Structure 1
């Protein structure tokens, strides 16, 4: 009796295990500074910050001078190594780095925060994981603290972006070409046991808002300034 060949389970942790750069549109210091300033505007103060999924620290190093204490965490050892190099280069002494994922990070913390943030992280969560993250994060917030989830993929806007809708030279006939290429890529991804889109999952603002409300938060939805198909979710405790 023949055995069925089992495909190994895809792991985002394994995928990012050797990465050294975050998924920013541009890697220039000028662009990263602008992106960080936009996010600092929405973080809107506070003295302590947890940057979950800080990656290689491209934004983290811009946050550190604005806070008394910062914790950066990621599940990629190679990414944290890059973040550590940036921190040592700037000689910052008010930041610690933790190797952890969305389940283990909470056992590594010994303080509460005014702000808990995550950038381009929600796309690697299922709705259930997102609910667990918000629930756990709420236990580590100071009074009047906020959870700010940056650059969540909006499913409607993302598919418009995929077909080039936001491009300055958009042409309608490109829709069919891009749709065909997209189908081919999804088939190849399936054969390679990868997600249909390596960028991860999309979650509508309505879904994120419902999850936030179930956990005692009200959500302000803000369109991302630098990524047409993404939005920010600013979560504040319901009074």
Structure 2
């Protein structure tokens, strides 16, 4: 296991929430509706990196069977509580990561999705994830990857360019802070950003095309520095 992978597993080890912009049910419901629009049907769904099932329980009424997967035991404990509270009897949970998941699957899915997860994978790992996912996708199925950090916009968001209270001095200070953080991370041989890697959508599209998928890229409604990818077989 790589050092960066250990860092992220340790980071999420005791987490109990998925890191959504807001934790209110109203916001989670709106975010889920946006994602359901892009998922666009299907009867079975695998949600990789389901976290505390904050979105998964909103997906449940639209699907016959769902599987939530995460590598964090604490997240899955919270997910189990939420599923019971919401009375979602069509959701199963599985403790696994992007490497161990596929050997534990016994059937295929109409939709395979991940929200706010792909930034923790390198391009090589994304390549393998799409390859593995394609083998567990039903005919006419889709792989939908939500909330990927955009390498073109994320750096601008980090220095406060999208903030309501932005000004030149604030941007300059944030730029200096981010530069020092990146240098320190490089010296320590650790990830420069705990939110993971920012990926250019054109590179993701090349990987999708390599595995026989056409890809549509759309902007996130609720995170100005993120995008979604919808992959379907050509």
In the TM superposition, 1:40-189 aligns within 5 A as 40-189=36-185
| Residue 57 of structure 1, CA deviation | 0.8
| Residue 90 of structure 1, CA deviation | 1.7
CA distance in 1, matches of 2:42, 2:181: 43
Structure 1: 5+ residue stretches without partners: 1-7
| Residue 175 of structure 1, CA deviation | 2.2
CA distance in 2, matches of 1:144, 1:172: 49
In the TM superposition, 1:11-22 aligns within 5 A as 11=6, 12-22=8-18
| Residue 83 of structure 1, CA deviation | 0.3
> How big is each residue's C-alpha offset from its partner over 1:138-169, in whole Å with a ceiling of 9 and x where there is no partner?
01111100000000010110011112121223
> How big is each residue's C-alpha offset from its partner over 1:99-152, in whole Å with a ceiling of 9 and x where there is no partner?
001011111111111100000111000000000000000011111000000000
| Residue 183 of structure 1, CA deviation | 2.2
Residue of structure 1 aligned with 2:225, choices 212, 220, 229? 229
The equivalent of 1:9 in structure 2 is: 3
CA distance in 1, matches of 2:125, 2:192: 19
The equivalent of 1:4 in structure 2 is: none
Work out which of the two has the higher radius of gyration on C-alpha atoms and give 1 or 2: 1
RMSD: 1.4
CA distance in 1, matches of 2:23, 2:189: 29
- 204-213 vs 174-183, which moves further: 174-183
TM value normalised by structure 2: 0.94
CA distance in 1, matches of 2:198, 2:73: 25
| Residue 9 of structure 1, CA deviation | 2.9
Residue of structure 2 aligned with 1:26, choices 22, 27, 31? 22
Partner secondary structure for residue 21 of structure 2 = coil
Cα pair 2:159 2:178 within 8 Å, conserved: no
- Alignment coverage as a number of residue pairs: 231
- 204-213 vs 14-23, which moves further: 14-23
The equivalent of 1:5 in structure 2 is: none
CA distance in 2, matches of 1:125, 1:233: 15
CA gap 1:81/1:193 in 2 versus in 1, 3 angstroms: farther
